[in-house]
């Protein structure tokens, strides 16, 4: 593990290389943008990172939806095991999803599609975690996106 060092920050970017230190590169390019030094900006890598940011948010949304649906399935099909941990997992996932959608409203129309897309893995996770047989869980998602995100929705 590399030795951690305290690095003094300065107002003048040091123009670090994209492939060597992504965070430093991002800070350098942010400084260049703010200073209006357009010709010095690493435009190609900046464009790639902006595209990847959207992909990352979409992946995070899908991940939270998958985890949330896994727990809603467990909640519905194992009522005797319901507890504070499952409830907190569901509530925290709902909060995180709403945060992503508030920060990136362009993902709102994709949420229902991602719910459908991630259901197969959520179902597989629920089967694996509960030990219940496959036929217990519906083949397609039994929840709407509105139900999944509603704090007062708890499947019975």
- Tell me the per-residue pLDDT of 10-60, one tens digit each, with 9 for 90 and over: 444 456 788 888 888 889 999 999 999 999 999 999 999 888 888 889 999
pLDDT of residue 50: 86
CB 107, CB 101: distance < 8 Å: yes
Q: Who wins on pLDDT, 21 or 155?
A: 155
Res. 1 pLDDT band, cuts 50 70 90 = low
pLDDT of residue 53: 82
pLDDT of residue 2: 56
pLDDT of residue 52: 84
pLDDT of residue 11: 45
Compute the mean pLDDT over every residue in the chain, rounded to the nearest whole number: 90
DSSP letters of 76-109?
A: HH-GGG--HHHHHHHHHHHHHHHHHHHH-GGGHH
pLDDT of residue 21: 87
Find the helix or strand (DSSP H, E) in which 115 lies.
helix 108-130
Q: What is the mean pLDDT of residues 51-74?
A: 94
Instruction: Name the DSSP letter for residue 20.
Output: T
pLDDT of residue 132: 97
CA distances from 11 to 8, 29, 48 (A): 10, 12, 25
């Amino acid at each position: 593990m590399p030795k951690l060092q305290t690095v003094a920050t300065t107002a003048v970017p040091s123009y670090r290389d994209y492939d060597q230190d992504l965070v430093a590169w991002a800070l350098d390019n942010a400084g260049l943008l703010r200073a209006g030094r357009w010709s010095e900006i690493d435009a190609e890598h900046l464009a790639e990172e902006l595209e990847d940011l959207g992909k990352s948010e979409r992946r995070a949304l899908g991940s939270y939806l998958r985890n949330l649906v896994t727990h809603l399935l467990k909640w519905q099909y194992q009522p005797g095991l319901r507890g504070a941990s499952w409830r907190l997992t569901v509530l925290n996932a709902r909060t995180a999803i709403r945060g992503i959608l508030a920060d990136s409203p362009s993902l709102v129309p994709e949420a229902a599609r991602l719910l459908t897309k991630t259901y197969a893995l959520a179902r597989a996770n629920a089967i694996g975690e509960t030990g219940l047989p496959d036929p217990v869980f519906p083949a397609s998602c039994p929840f709407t996106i509105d139900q999944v995100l509603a704090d007062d929705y708890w499947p019975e």
